[in-house]
């Protein structure tokens, strides 16, 4: 096929261009404050490779200030005393402001992350709005229990015993660049519903929507210090937050290697830690599956968000009876995807987030080739200054290859054929990760027999990658611990207190 040229990025709106020109500041104690650090981070449009903004690289002194503001807001003042129903109202107000600014937030997200504005609008920012609404409801529904005890007290003694859930305290939240504002919402929603206070650090590649969110948090009327937002690198701002004695809990989404570092560092002060880490999720296609669903579904499982999805369906296992049909179908779908800049309405897949990520993904494809994988489609980058990688399908792979074992985090599918239905759970589980999986079959017994054997936090059936604020999300094995969303996340942001009263 003749190479299709990559279109150029349309000009941003005047409002967004103005926003990008703002002087780098930090959001601490309800105000935009000058950073103590003189270091700056260049923020780049991944479709062009050009700088669009500069932000501060907050240092340890900036972290001290932000943690002090969060500590003060937690320990005393209006937030500590606020009725749950008023926290709920603030979260709703924030969600309304997100809705009001949906178009602008989607444009900022697109320019900063590379995803299309269309997807940013209908998926990312809409989910952010809905997430705050869902979590708003939890503010008024946090419960403990009463229970009977058999305590041997003095004769005639009676006890009244119950539990209460209380906010865990000051939470440091460190998030990645693949769904920048949605990750901020997943973190902030439960923290604010439960009455915690927060220092949030967006990823250095994609800080822009979090900074715009700070404006909206102030506009919604959250008391000063409840949410503080620091831009900065992982090694500076992130590491200082994790080590800080004034932080009670760290919530992290990102790579498994950094998750391990964070868990070690947090051990020194025994902070609570929740980790949502990498994945290598299998897509299992049974011979009886509905092929009209499977091909689009498997393509979307890996190519959505250019494969920069922690639960992306990266390892395709198709039964030998349908393997060729699935691989051909997904490869054809891959070829038809139009790459381009996010603000171009024709674009179906944007660039990867950074030069570094583009090089990492191309390096994986190269290592696959070297180890004997066959490139069915894609396999390289189109000519462009942007950080694009063509949607790629690899076959002839073996379970020990790097491309099969490691998280690639790009639009690269590795496809394997299986023979025996009894082997498939072991093949699917042959990974250090356990975030997601999907099973494609019309047979209810096949599905129900397989689902319990899959070691993953979410198993989708005849679909993949769907998430919902009500549906717990998180990993088995090295995909992390703790579950976000639903009732489960309330436990992550609260301490359980037992009260024993001799009456």
What residues make contact with ligand NAI under the rule CB under 6 A? 174-176, 178, 201, 203-204, 233-235, 238-239, 242, 253-255, 258, 261-262, 277-278, 310, 360, 407, 409
Cβ proximity to ligand NAI, 127 vs 344, nearer residue: 127
Cβ proximity to ligand NAI, 91 vs 183, nearer residue: 183
Question: Closest separation between CB of residue 365 and ligand NAI, Å?
Answer: 13
Identified catalytic residue from 276, 311, 407, 484: 276
Question: Closest separation between CB of residue 498 and ligand NAI, Å?
Answer: 33
Cβ proximity to ligand NAI, 112 vs 331, nearer residue: 112
In the bound state, the residue with its beta carbon closest to ligand NAI is 234
Question: Closest separation between CB of residue 58 and ligand NAI, Å?
Answer: 11
DSSP 276-342: E----EEEEE-TTS-HHHHHHHHHHHHHGGGG--TT-EEEEEEETTTHHHHHHHHHHHHHHPPB--T
Residue 497, both tokens: 């207190």
Cβ proximity to ligand NAI, 277 vs 403, nearer residue: 277
237: DSSP letter: I
Residue 224, both tokens: 């000063």
Distance CA 218, CA 362 (A): 42
Question: Closest separation between CB of residue 236 and ligand NAI, Å?
Answer: 9
Q: Which of 475, 481, 470, 483 is nearest to 454 (CA)?
A: 475
Cβ proximity to ligand NAI, 5 vs 363, nearer residue: 363
80-89 contacts: CB < 8 A, separation 24 or more?
80/195, 82/195, 82/223, 84/139, 84/140, 84/142, 84/195, 85/139, 85/140, 87/136, 87/139, 87/192, 87/193, 87/195, 88/136, 88/137, 88/139, 88/140, 88/193, 89/136
276 is catalytic: yes
**Does residue 476 come out as left (phi exceeding 0), alpha (psi in the -120 to 50 range) or beta?**
beta
Q: Which of 413, 305, 409, 419 is nearest to 359 (CA)?
A: 409
Identified catalytic residue from 88, 107, 127, 310: 310
Residue appearing with tokens 């070690």: 264
359 is catalytic: no
Contact criterion met (CB below 8 Å) for 485 and 495:
no
Question: Closest separation between CB of residue 227 and ligand NAI, Å?
Answer: 17
Question: Closest separation between CB of residue 376 and ligand NAI, Å?
Answer: 22
Distance CA 145, CA 275 (A): 27
Vertex 436: Cα angle to 434 and 437 (nearest 5): 110
Cβ proximity to ligand NAI, 55 vs 175, nearer residue: 175
Strands (E) in 148-301, as ranges, are 159-167, 170-174, 197-201, 227-229, 249-253, 272-276, 281-285
Cβ proximity to ligand NAI, 201 vs 319, nearer residue: 201
Question: Closest separation between CB of residue 311 and ligand NAI, Å?
Answer: 8
Q: Report the catalytic residues.
A: 276, 310
């Amino acid at each position: 096929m003749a190479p299709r040229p990559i279109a150029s990025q349309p000009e941003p709106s005047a409002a967004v261009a103005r926003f990008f020109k703002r002087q780098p500041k930090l959001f601490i104690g309800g105000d935009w404050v000058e950073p103590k650090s003189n270091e700056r981070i260049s923020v780049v449009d991944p479709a062009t490779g050009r700088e669009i903004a500069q932000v501060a690289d907050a240092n340890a002194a900036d972290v001290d200030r932000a943690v002090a503001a969060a500590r003060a807001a937690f320990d005393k003042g209006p937030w500590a005393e606020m009725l749950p129903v008023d926290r709920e109202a603030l979260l709703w107000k924030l969600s309304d402001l997100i809705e009001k600014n949906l178009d602008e937030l989607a444009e900022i997200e697109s320019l900063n992350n590379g995803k299309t504005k269309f997807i940013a609008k209908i998926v990312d920012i809409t989910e952010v709005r809905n997430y705050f609404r869902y979590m708003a409801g939890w503010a008024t529904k946090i419960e403990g229990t009463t229970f009977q005890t058999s305590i041997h007290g003095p004769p005639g003694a009676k006890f009244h015993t119950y539990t209460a859930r209380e906010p865990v305290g000051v939470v440091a939240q460190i998030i990645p660049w693949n769904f920048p504002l949605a990750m901020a919402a997943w973190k902030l929603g439960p923290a604010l519903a439960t009455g915690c206070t927060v220092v949030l650090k967006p990823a250095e590649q994609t800080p822009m929507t979090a900074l715009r969110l700070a404006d909206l948090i102030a506009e919604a009327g959250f008391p000063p210090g409840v949410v503080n937002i620091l831009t900065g690198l992982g090694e500076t701002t992130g590491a200082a937050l994790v080590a800080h004695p004034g932080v009670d809990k760290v919530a992290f989404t990102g790579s498994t290697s950094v998750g391990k570092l964070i868990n070690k560092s947090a051990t020194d002060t025994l902070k609570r830690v929740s980790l949502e880490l990498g994945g290598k999720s299998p897509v299992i296609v049974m011979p009886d599956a509905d092929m009209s669903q499977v091909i689009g579904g498997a393509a979307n499982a890996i190519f959505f968000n250019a494969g920069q999805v922690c639960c992306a369906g990266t390892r395709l296992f198709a039964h030998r009876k349908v393997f060729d049909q699935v691989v051909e179908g997904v490869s054809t779908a891959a070829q038809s995807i139009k790459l381009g800049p996010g603000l171009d309405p024709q674009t179906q897949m944007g660039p990867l987030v950074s030069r570094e990520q583009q090089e990492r993904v191309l390096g994986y494809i190269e290592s696959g080739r070297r180890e004997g994988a066959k490139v069915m489609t894609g396999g390289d980058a189109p000519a462009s200054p942007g950080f694009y990688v063509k949607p790629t399908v690899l076959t002839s792979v073996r379970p020990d290859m790097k491309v099969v074992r490691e998280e690639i985090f790009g639009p690269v599918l590795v496809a394997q054929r299986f023979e025996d239905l009894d082997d498939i759970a072991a093949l699917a589980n042959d990974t250090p990760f356990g975030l997601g999986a999907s099973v494609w079959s019309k047979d209810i017994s096949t599905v129900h027999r397989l689902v319990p054997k899959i070691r993953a936090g979410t198993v989708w059936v005849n679909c993949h990658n769907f998430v919902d604020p009500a549906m717990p999300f998180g990993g088995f094995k090295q995909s992390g611990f703790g579950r976000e969303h639903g009732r489960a996340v309330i436990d992550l942001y609260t301490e359980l207190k037992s009260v024993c009263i001799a009456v």
